Structure 1
């Protein structure tokens, strides 16, 4: 691989040399401004061209923001980062014990926010940086040492993970989200699926994590279902995890009765804000589980499928619409056709970088499947 090393040059010579040693020790090619020689264009144009011709970027951030070229509001390193993040992996490393100024602090915060669960680390000395870059590049190599991504197969597997729906029986209304990763490979060995540490982590994250899915007042039943690990609660919430790292999340959509009394129409509508909240929770939980079971990101692509079960005759309202008219509703009647799951394909990084867009891309087509409950 051709790996572009992006950082300040003046004052960072030792750090850049350490990054070069890490890159070349793993038999990759380091692309560095120091090696460009005389160029007909400006140094920044030469650097951006070298970046575009590279496969990956190692970004090294220290205390200084660097020179801002005339006609720009960003430093050269900041421009390189903005260019790289749209098209290639960025392995960012931050120097510890520094006091950055406002511009550099904002740059660091931008990188850390964008990185999400991607590789990044900190360092104190050049040797620390060399070790960190070596480990990150090794992890990237492992992550990419897999078969090709077959998106059609991924989506077929995702849709097959929905349980058959009995539309002649009254069942709780559930949001069901399936996420299948690719390339297709085994992520967890059978012994790992049985490990108490994995079950405990999944339970604790579902009950107390930032992406809390389970009701803390209810117990959790967990165990193997065939070769899958299954966690479930009485109201129907459940999590299924396969050896291939596929995840199925089921969450109740009916909101609890409020302290102001029972809403007789609550079982007749899907409340948009509730659906959106559940999608957000489910995607955040999936991201947390993938970070736990596949730290080196062997799964690089995702097939995501979503449906609502048990809502054949419901209408769709926002919370404000429902609060304004709780006593009447327009709803579907007999002969409602089965609604196909909403599905999309995404890079795994989108779970951390662009989750809001994923939520919207699932919610809007789902909303269109239901009559507006005026």
Structure 2
């Protein structure tokens, strides 16, 4: 596997040498700016291309920040921001040095990144080499699963929706989001899914956490159904279903708008955003070493055959005048193309993913 070494070059030569040795001794290929040679592109474009061709990034932060580019940040900072949405990043922070203000802010940004793999401190090249060796080995062990089957990933996301989510739900207007995860492997033992403390943690997060889904004014209970943990809200109007492979189904009721048979796009967007945020939190909770590297998303709207899709502005303009359509045929799930995404995308590109899924839902709804 190619591993990109990201750091300021000048003044950190011994540290970069230690990183190269750790990577190559484990049988991987170190991708480093020093090895690029003459390039038709700028040095920074060459570095970003090298990063994009790598499967993992080792980030080393010393005392200096480096010269700022046209983007307003240093090349190492650009590399980090490019990588954190798309690649696993293992960061190492040099201790016992005086950092300039920009580098101090950069270190704080990395340390605050709650989905990063590891953030270790070191003082010498020898200690850095030992830490990189250990962390890469731990990552290899944690990710010793098969390759991601993109087709299977998407089929599982679509297939996770129960039959009533594919047609006309008995619970009223709902939005269902399925998140399948890969490579396919066991993540949660049956005893963990049954553990009352674990169930209560997920239930409480759905009611009171920063990524809450449900109102505490309605009853919410947790239990096991067909070997999966199911959290049921308001007698089933809201549901969370989690299986042992980390696959997740979230079903949320759409807010009653007082507009009769009208679905408001803003409400769909808000519910989709809440679902995706909870899914990202839950994956980080159950798989902290990121054995699951990719996800597929599928979504569907349910709840009646005579419904009008509108924006709030459209509804305000003519609240009592709209044409009632007739839903022909069965509701169909929508999904992105390509069907899978890297796991960090559901957190760092959440707004874009929600916008795309809502657009596809609107097309599907109005087209039926």
The answer to whether 1:273 aligns with 2:266 is yes
Q: Deviations over 1:241-260 (max 9, x none)?
A: 1111111101010337xxxx
Q: Deviations over 1:204-228 (max 9, x none)?
A: 2111211100211222211111211
Name the SS for the 2:164 alignment partner. coil
Task: Check the 8 A contact 2:2/2:56 in 1, yes or no.
Answer: yes
The answer to whether 1:255 aligns with 2:256 is yes
Q: In structure 2, what is the equivalent of residue 320 of structure 1?
A: 313
Q: In structure 1, what is the equivalent of residue 146 of structure 2?
A: 147
Tell me by how many angstroms 1:160 deviates.
2.0
Residues in 2 aligned to 1:318 and 1:102: alpha-carbon distance in whole angstroms: 45
Q: In structure 2, what is the equivalent of residue 259 of structure 1?
A: none
RMSD: 3.6
Q: In structure 2, what is the equivalent of residue 125 of structure 1?
A: 123
Q: Give 4+ residue runs of structure 1 displaced > 6 Å after superposition.
A: 96-99
Name the SS for the 2:364 alignment partner. coil
Tell me by how many angstroms 1:171 deviates.
3.6
Greater alpha carbon shift after TM alignment, 152-161 vs 45-54: 45-54
The answer to whether 1:342 aligns with 2:334 is yes
TM-score, reference length from structure 1: 0.81
The answer to whether 1:366 aligns with 2:367 is no
Task: Check the 8 A contact 2:265/2:309 in 1, yes or no.
Answer: yes
Q: Deviations over 1:151-189 (max 9, x none)?
A: 222222222221212967764111111111122222111
Q: Which runs of 5+ in 1 are unaligned?
A: 257-262
Q: Deviations over 1:10-37 (max 9, x none)?
A: 4445644554564356444545567x59
Q: In structure 2, what is the equivalent of residue 199 of structure 1?
A: 199
Residues in 1 aligned to 2:299 and 2:356: alpha-carbon distance in whole angstroms: 11
User: CA 1:331/1:201 → structure 2, altered by over 3 Å: closer, same or farther?
Assistant: same
Greater alpha carbon shift after TM alignment, 128-137 vs 311-320: 128-137
Greater alpha carbon shift after TM alignment, 207-216 vs 54-63: 54-63
Q: Deviations over 1:29-71 (max 9, x none)?
A: 545567x59x5679947983865775432111234212458x8
Q: Which runs of 5+ in 2 are unaligned?
A: none
Max radius of gyration: which structure? 1
Q: In structure 2, what is the equivalent of residue 157 of structure 1?
A: 156
Task: Check the 8 A contact 2:67/2:74 in 1, yes or no.
Answer: yes
User: CA 1:89/1:291 → structure 2, altered by over 3 Å: closer, same or farther?
Assistant: closer
Task: Check the 8 A contact 2:84/2:344 in 1, yes or no.
Answer: no
Residues in 1 aligned to 2:168 and 2:183: alpha-carbon distance in whole angstroms: 37
Q: In structure 1, what is the equivalent of residue 222 of structure 2?
A: 222
**Number of aligned positions between the proteins:** 359
TM-score, reference length from structure 2: 0.82
Name the SS for the 1:275 alignment partner. helix
The answer to whether 1:287 aligns with 2:285 is no
User: CA 1:10/1:270 → structure 2, altered by over 3 Å: closer, same or farther?
Assistant: same
Q: In structure 2, what is the equivalent of residue 352 of structure 1?
A: 347
Name the SS for the 1:368 alignment partner. helix
User: CA 1:222/1:29 → structure 2, altered by over 3 Å: closer, same or farther?
Assistant: same
User: CA 1:299/1:169 → structure 2, altered by over 3 Å: closer, same or farther?
Assistant: closer
Name the SS for the 1:369 alignment partner. helix
The answer to whether 1:61 aligns with 2:53 is no
Greater alpha carbon shift after TM alignment, 318-327 vs 246-255: 318-327
User: CA 1:13/1:230 → structure 2, altered by over 3 Å: closer, same or farther?
Assistant: same
